């Protein structure tokens, strides 16, 4: 035990403005998450309509506005909203958490943030800029008459609402594109669909219920016409029939610090091309895992939070779990995009059960469903496996002749990719690939040159060891244990070679 130290004086240490705002600007927000954080405030203000507008010219986005028809703010509420980590008493149903969302989201994308709000006919307006923050945190209070004119012009298409709030981002340092012709159009053509997909997923329950509508508008300064892009709900659990009999099930979990939580465990039908399954991706494998909701807002979309090793297990492609969180009691990151789950909480999730089956049984059922779909797709007479991409063509021909003869065969390819430390290889049973860790490529090659068909001995031995697991049902747990053991043995060799290289 340390000896108690006596206090002899105190220092008043205000945060340094420039350093604080620089840290906030690098807090990790992507544009869709930053806009979603502003929309949280609109929902808390009981808005039914939100509009996100990108104001542009030929070469750049000049401003972004987020407007709503919520209840608006008076000067006292605006002062609290503009204060960094202000002392805000949130209702249990509010989406706001730390009193930081408006500021951290805004300064992650811009250097100037203006808020104009109308309530009971009165307009209040205030503005933060990086310079004002560096100048002893002096937040500007703006002329309400001129601010009202801007509110009337920019707050929602058509007639401005009688009450509502308009947030304006200017000096957009994160949305700068090159000056090449069509660069801005190219950026917007990809950024707007991503934004729509993110907002449609995050707020899908509000959109489905009709409680909220969201539109995205790109408005050119020289053109009056700007067609809105309505945000559609993207429900990650909307499928016609489950992918396995008996599912979904509700599993109860005694979650440390929160009490009993219900886990709605779903298995999607295999081979689905539904929007809710792919969620903008090509295969949907990255969308497996836990979906945490709080007050109907999606906080985390997928990921296993340490309960399952790796978040993109091809055998858990179909597995998704919806969890409704209470309003408080668990740490969420500032961007409200992920949960901070402790080791004991992860263990509690794994132990979730309905008295007959638990989460482990659910994971095994999801693995069995994807294996069954692969067998069905291949038909009753499964073609033999042969080495494919990543092996020299002459070796591939010889292997095909010896293994399959004149029969049709199914190729198992090889690729170098990003894997966890200590993992030398992994089996991608969905894409029929054996993936080797790019970080250990030189150690595996042991002085040989890298090429598209390098490391033939290692690749063919792994192929021979696991080829049957790509084509027939087998205990997934035993397979994973065998892969882990093989990885551990191979990594011992890798460590020796890495040490020799360093010496």
The 3 state secondary structure assigned to 299-345 is EEECECCCCCCCCCCHHHCCEEEEEEECCCCCCECCCCCCECCCHHH
Distances (CA, A) of 230 to 12, 41, 65, 370: 49, 20, 16, 34
Q: What is the mean pLDDT of residues 307-327?
A: 91
Is the confidence at residue 475, as pLDDT, over 60?
Answer: no
Provide, rounded to the nearest whole percent, the portion of the chain with pLDDT above 70: 88
C-alpha to C-alpha distance for 135 and 130, rounded to whole angstroms: 9
Phi/psi at 220 (nearest 5 deg)? -85, 140
CA dist 397 and 487 (Å) reads 28
User: Residue 501 above 90 pLDDT?
Assistant: no
Closest CA to 67 of 39, 30, 44, 31: 39
Q: Please say if the pLDDT value at position 7 is more than 50.
A: yes
Q: pTM for the full model?
A: 0.72
Burial 196-231 (b: 16+ CB within 10 A, else e): bbbbbbbbbbbbbeeebebbbbbbeeeeeeeebeeb
Q: Phi and psi dihedrals of 271, rounded to 5?
A: 75, 15
Q: What is the CA radius of gyration of the chain?
A: 27
Over 60: is that where the pLDDT of 93 sits? no
Judged on CB neighbours under 10 Å (0-12, 13-18, 19+), 135 is: exposed
Contact, 209 vs 309, CB < 8 A? no
Of the listed ranges 85-94, 399-408, 488-497, the one predicted with least confidence? 85-94
CA distance 183 to 190: 11
CB 150 within 8 A of CB 123: no
Confidence of residue 234 (pLDDT cuts 50, 70, 90): very high
Q: Beta strand pairing status for 433-437 and 410-417?
A: parallel
Question: Is 17-230 assigned to CATH 3.40.50.720?
Answer: no
The answer to whether 303 and 287 have CB atoms below 8 angstroms apart is: no
Distance, in Å, from the CA atom of 40 to the CA atom of 44, rounded to the nearest integer, reads 6
* Residues linked to residue 434 through DSSP beta bridges, in sequence order: 414, 427
pLDDT in tens, 258-303: 889 999 999 999 989 999 999 988 888 999 999 999 999 999 999 9
Cβ atoms of residues 370 and 276 within 8 Å: no
């Amino acid at each position: 035990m340390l000896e108690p130290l006596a206090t002899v004086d105190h220092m008043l240490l205000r945060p340094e403005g420039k350093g604080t705002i620089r840290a906030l600007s690098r807090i990790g927000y992507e544009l869709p998450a930053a806009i979603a954080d502003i929309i949280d405030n609109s929902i808390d203000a009981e808005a039914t309509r939100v509009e996100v507008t990108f104001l542009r010219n030929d070469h750049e986005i000049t401003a972004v506005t987020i407007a709503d028809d919520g209840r608006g703010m008076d000067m006292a509420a605006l002062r609290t909203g503009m204060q960094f980590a202000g002392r805000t008493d949130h209702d249990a149903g509010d989406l706001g958490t730390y009193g930081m969302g408006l500021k951290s989201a805004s300064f992650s994308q811009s250097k100037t943030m203006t808020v104009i709000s109308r309530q009971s006919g009165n307009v209040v307006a205030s503005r933060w800029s990086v310079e004002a923050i560096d100048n002893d945190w002096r937040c500007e209070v703006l002329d309400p008459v001129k601010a009202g004119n801007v509110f009337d012009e920019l707050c929602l298409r058509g007639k401005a609402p009688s009450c509502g709030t308009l947030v304006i981002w200017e000096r957009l340092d994160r949305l700068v594109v090159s000056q090449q012709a069509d660069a801005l159009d190219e950026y917007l053509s990809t950024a707007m669909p991503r934004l729509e997909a993110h907002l449609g997923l995050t707020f899908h329950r509000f959109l489905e219920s009709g409680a909220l509508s969201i539109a995205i508008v790109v408005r050119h300064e020289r053109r009056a016409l700007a067609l809105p892009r309505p945000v559609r709900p993207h429900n990650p659990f909307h499928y016609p029939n489950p992918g396995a009999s008996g599912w979904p099930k509700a599993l109860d979990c005694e979650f440390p610090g929160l009490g009993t939580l219900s886990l709605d465990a779903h298995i999607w039908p295999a081979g689905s091309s539904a929007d809710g399954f792919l969620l903008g991706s090509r295969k949907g494998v990255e969308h497996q895992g836990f979906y945490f909701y709080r007050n109907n807002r999606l906080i985390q979309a997928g990921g296993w939070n340490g309960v399952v090793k790796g978040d993109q297990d091809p055998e858990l492609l179909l597995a998704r779990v919806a969890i409704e969180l209470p309003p408080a009691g668990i740490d969420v990151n500032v961007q409200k995009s992920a949960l901070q789950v402790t080791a004991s909480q992860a263990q509690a999730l794994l132990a979730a059960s309905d008295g007959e089956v638990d989460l482990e049984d659910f994971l095994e059922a999801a693995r069995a469903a994807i294996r069954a779909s692969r067998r069905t797709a291949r038909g009753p007479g499964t073609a033999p496996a042969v080495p494919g991409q990543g092996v020299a063509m002459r070796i591939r021909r010889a292997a095909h002749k010896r293994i399959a003869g004149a029969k049709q065969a199914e190729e198992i390819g090889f690729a170098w990719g990003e894997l966890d430390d200590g993992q030398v290889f992994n089996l991608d049973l969905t894409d029929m690939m054996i993936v080797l860790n790019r970080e250990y490529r030189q150690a595996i090659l042991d002085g040989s040159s890298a090429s598209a068909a390098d490391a033939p001995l290692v690749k063919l031995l792994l192929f021979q060891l696991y080829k049957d697991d790509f084509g027939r049902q087998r205990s997934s747990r035993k397979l994973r244990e065998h892969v882990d053991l093989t990885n551990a043995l191979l990594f011992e060799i890798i460590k020796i070679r890495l040490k020799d290289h360093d010496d």
